[in-house]
Amino acid sequence: MVDSSQSIQSEQLKPPITRIGVIGWVHANLFSSVFNSFLTIVTLYFLWKIVPAFVRWAFIDSSWNTTGAACRAAGGACWSIVAKNFRFIIFGFFPYESHWRPLLAMIILFTLLFISRNRRYWKKWLGYVWLSGLFVMGLLLKGGLFGLPPVESTKWSGLPLTLLLSVFGLTAAYPLGVLLALGRQSRMPAIKSLCIVYIETIRGVPLISLLFMSSVMFPLFLPEGITINNILRAQVAIILFTAAYIAEVVRGGLQAISRGQYEAAESLGLNYYQKMRLIILPQALKIVIPPSVGILISAFKDTSLVVIIGLFDLLKTTQATLSDPRWMGFSVEAYIFIALIYFAGCFSMSSYSRRLERELYRGT
Amino acid sequence: MKFFKLCVVAVAVLVLVTASLAMAGETLDAVKKRGYLIAGVNGGVFGFSMPDDKGVWKGLDVDTARAFAAAVFGDASKVKYVPLTAVQRLPALQAKEIDVLCRNTTQTLTRETANGLNFVQVNFYDGQGFLAPKKLGIKKAQDMDGATVCVLPGTTTELNVADFYRANNMQWKPVVIEQTAELSKAFFAGRCDLLTSDLSQLAAHRAVAPNPAEYVLLPIVISKEPLAPVVRHGDDQWYDIVNWSVMALIQAEELGINSNNVHIMLKNKNPRVQRFLGVIPGMGKNLGLDDEWAYNIIKQVGNYGEIFERNVGVNTALGLERGLNAQWLKGGLMYSAPFR
């Protein structure tokens, strides 16, 4: 009896109104202590100051498809700079009437990346799909076959160039970095010291100096009449640079695997290649997903440094637009636009890496 | 080890041999064989060399490069433009990645000697000046004491201001800003009293002011900036072609020949015009080109006056007067040696 009456009573008594619903949530999360209340009020004050002004600037007073002079008169954000120069910012010098070619190439790239997200598709056929995709993309950019007019690689610019440098930079740097990490762990003194020298030298200099050397000094050493494409030189510099950082991250993973794993693999009679391929690397690479994605993201953003060697990547085409007197002064709007593009790239990389981590830990 | 030494010696010999191979006519042959000219340009200076919103190169330096292509090939479109930064431009020319540099480069003694380069006829006389708010009432140099000055870093611009203030024994405070667009923003937001840059750029800065009438270009010019195309030492024939192509632009304006009337001028009886356009043959052959070279330049690119008005003149966003860049007969410095 006592039990049931208690349970009836507890059903009838509702918790105080300040502990449930919206008020309860606000109380628990925003005003749980004096300090938290203070922080909440300060934050709200800044939001109140900033958000309406930003909305007014970005949307209400803004111009979307006018001239620069009309923008200046309107006073708000001038998204017209992006709208009017959209194709130059994205495609740069690529011949105007052939813009569909880099566009199609980018669509193929995104489709391939989207398909590859799913680990169930990581089979041999996906490799062939990638190879043929790369061939088609190269053909679209370069032309010269099947009636496509050829386009000089010096005219590759804007977003396709940024993607080219990043995708090839990252995919080539990762395996190279793994090899360097294995080399540094090697028992063969020549290979080991070579890898150490390489990694430490590259990590000892900034990327800018590598790019400078590749674009300014390197050509002076080449024999007469031989010039190497500027984009290729920057691409190699980016690969070499990123690989050194990947190598150190992967080495961290290799060292985190306990000796027992190495010994167990050896006692099974596996040779070096089998041991690494089947036992050590799958575990080590899984551990280092977060730091290596960090490096890949920063490498993606670092490709914008090619501005200083005169390549017209996404950032440089935007800057070129900004030095046009008709559009001078609307740098904030233009930079917000490319910041959004970079954010989309970086965010999808990091969210995919989180998903990959979840799947891999569940799978084992 | 022996093999290694041998390799080093071989490479050294190769470098020496190839370095001394810069013979006369070499660049012209290479350009002709390639089928197009490679010109180094700036890529970020409106009116001089910049892509338009369709990615087509426009500007005074670009048109100058097109004139070279018209002279060599009879086709002004046969140019490949390579955008170069201030640091890259001279090494790129030395390493033969480009045939000619048309990148608003100031002719100086050091660049001609230590860097092994030759500047040809100047295609734009610039100078460094100041933009100031009208309300400061600056009339002479002494009024500028103690000013904060917005300036781009790195180039000679910054050094020129420092020299100017030191020579006049005055104080100044630099506000160094990397990007041109940010520079004018900072100035119009009142972060500095003066904005310094080349005269050709100051007008563009003023044009984007919230209220252009409140700002004046000061009548104080603190540096000489003769901007000219550049070629390498050691190929005199190529130097001649580039030099006389610029001269041809200037000479055509003096003779009253422009892109519209050039085919009528072929029938002109004036021997100076006839020699210039190749009606009386000889000039082209001396350069190693055909005799229609000057005709092609003017027909396809126009004379210097046309190029100037099209890219930087009063009807463009830069809105520049001819000033020093007027013909010598009209009080400017544009003076071509005679074509004979």
Is the domain defined by B10-123+228-330 classed in CATH 3.40.250.10? no
Return d(Cα B230, Cα B228) in angstroms, integer: 6
Q: What residue spans in chain B does CATH classification 3.40.190.10 cover?
A: 10-123+228-330, 126-226
Residue B193's contacts (CB-CB under 8 Å, 6 or more residues apart) are B132, B133, B136, B147, B148, B149
Judged by CB atoms closer than 8 Å, whether chains meet at B14 and A329 is answered as no
pLDDT in tens, B167-223: 999 999 999 887 777 788 888 888 899 999 888 888 778 877 778 788 888 888 899
For residue A34, give both structure tokens.
């004096």
- Whether residue B21 has pLDDT greater than 50: no
Q: 10 Å Cβ neighbour count for B335?
A: 14
Return d(Cα B294, Cα B254) in angstroms, integer: 14
- Whether residue B14 has pLDDT greater than 70: no
Query: What average pLDDT is seen over chain A?
Result: 85
Residue of A nearest to B187 (CA): A329
Percentage of chain B beyond pLDDT 90 is 53
- Whether residue A106 has pLDDT greater than 50: yes
For residue B13, give both structure tokens.
């010999």
> Which A residues 100-119 touch B at CB under 8 Å?
none
Place of tokens 């099209």: B310
- Whether residue B3 has pLDDT greater than 70: no
Chain A nearest C-alpha distance from B244 (Å): 26
**Residue B30 one-letter amino acid:** A
**Residue B37 one-letter amino acid:** L
Partner B contacted by A72 (CB < 8 A): yes
Quickly state the pLDDT bin for B64 (edges 50, 70, 90).
very high
Judged by CB atoms closer than 8 Å, whether chains meet at A312 and B83 is answered as yes
Nearest to A220 among B81, B95, B205 (CB): B95
Return d(Cα B232, Cα B112) in angstroms, integer: 9
Bridge partner list, B80: B38
Name the more confident of B113 and A60. B113
- Interface test with chain B among A215, A217, A233, A307, by most B beta carbons within 10 Å: A215
Q: Within its chain, how far is the Cα of A32 from the centroid?
A: 38
Chain A nearest C-alpha distance from B275 (Å): 37
Nearest to A325 among B43, B80, B204 (CB): B204
| Predicted pLDDT at B1 | 43
Pairing of strands B100-101, B194-198: unpaired
Which region holds residue B137: left if phi is over 0, alpha if psi is between -120 and 50, else beta? left
Alpha-carbon distances, residue B306 vs A164, B297, B322 (angstroms): 40, 12, 11
Return d(Cα A1, Cα A15) in angstroms, integer: 24
Judged by CB atoms closer than 8 Å, whether chains meet at A96 and B54 is answered as yes
HEC profile for chain A? CHHHHHHHHHHHCCCCHHHCHHHHHHHHHCCCCHHHHHHHHHHHHHHHHHHHHHHHHHHHCCECCCCHHHHHHHCCCECHHHHHHHHHHHHCCCCHHHCHHHHHHHHHHHHHHHHHCCHHHCCHHHHHHHHHHHHHHHHHHHCCCCCCCCCCHHHCCEHHHHHHHHHHHHHHHHHHHHHHHHHHHCCCHHHHHHHHHHHHHHHHCCHHHHHHHHHHHHHHHCCCCCCCCHHHHHHHHHHHHHHHHHHHHHHHHHHHCCHHHHHHHHHCCCCHHHHHHHHHHHHHHHHCHHHHHHHHHHHHHHHHHHHHHCCCEHHHHHHHHHCCCCCCCCHHHHHHHHHHHHHHHHHHHHHHHHHHHHHHHHHC
Quickly state the pLDDT bin for B69 (edges 50, 70, 90).
very high
Cβ-Cβ contacts under 8 Å, A222 against chain B = 95
Residue of B nearest to A316 (CA): B44
Nearest to A152 among B80, B184, B205 (CB): B80
Quickly state the pLDDT bin for A201 (edges 50, 70, 90).
very high
Which residues of chain B approach chain A closer than 8 Å at the C-beta? 14-15, 18, 21, 30, 43-46, 50-56, 80-85, 87-88, 91-92, 94-97, 179-182, 184-185, 204-205, 207-208, 210, 317-318
Chain B nearest C-alpha distance from A324 (Å): 6
- Whether residue B89 has pLDDT greater than 80: yes
Name the more confident of A79 and B250. B250
Return d(Cα A340, Cα A90) in angstroms, integer: 13
- Is residue B44 within 8 A of residue A323, CB to CB? The reply is yes
- Whether residue A6 has pLDDT greater than 70: no
Cβ-Cβ contacts under 8 Å, B101 against chain A = none
Quickly state the pLDDT bin for A363 (edges 50, 70, 90).
low
pLDDT in tens, A259-282: 898 889 889 988 888 888 888 888
B32-49 as b/e, with b when 16 or more CB fall inside 10 Å? eeeebbbbbbbbbbbbbb
- Whether residue B16 has pLDDT greater than 50: no
Q: What average pLDDT score do residues B2-11 get?
A: 48
Chain A nearest C-alpha distance from B338 (Å): 36
- Interface test with chain A among B13, B14, B46, B235, by most A beta carbons within 10 Å: B46
Cβ-Cβ contacts under 8 Å, A156 against chain B = none
Cβ-Cβ contacts under 8 Å, A312 against chain B = 43, 83
How is domain B126-226 classified at the architecture level of CATH?
3-Layer(aba) Sandwich (3.40)
- Interface test with chain A among B36, B177, B208, by most A beta carbons within 10 Å: B208
* B235 phi, psi to nearest 5 deg: -130, 85
Q: Give A101-104's long-range contacts (Cβ < 8 A, gap of 24+).
A: A101/A140, A101/A141, A101/A143, A101/A148, A101/A151, A102/A140, A102/A141, A102/A156, A102/A158, A102/A159, A102/A160, A104/A140
For residue A126, give both structure tokens.
């996906």
> Which A residues 170-199 touch B at CB under 8 Å?
none
* B151 phi, psi to nearest 5 deg: -145, 150
pLDDT in tens, A299-354: 888 888 888 787 888 988 888 888 887 787 788 889 999 999 999 989 998 998 88
In terms of residues, how long is chain B? 340
pLDDT in tens, A204-239: 999 888 888 888 778 778 776 677 788 888 899 999
- Whether residue B119 has pLDDT greater than 60: yes
pLDDT in tens, B139-174: 888 888 889 999 887 677 888 899 999 999 999 999
Helix axes A159-185, A289-302, angle to 10 degrees: 140
Residue of B nearest to A220 (CA): B95
- Whether residue B314 has pLDDT greater than 60: yes
pLDDT in tens, A23-74: 888 888 888 888 989 999 999 999 999 999 888 888 888 888 887 777 877 7
| Predicted pLDDT at B36 | 93
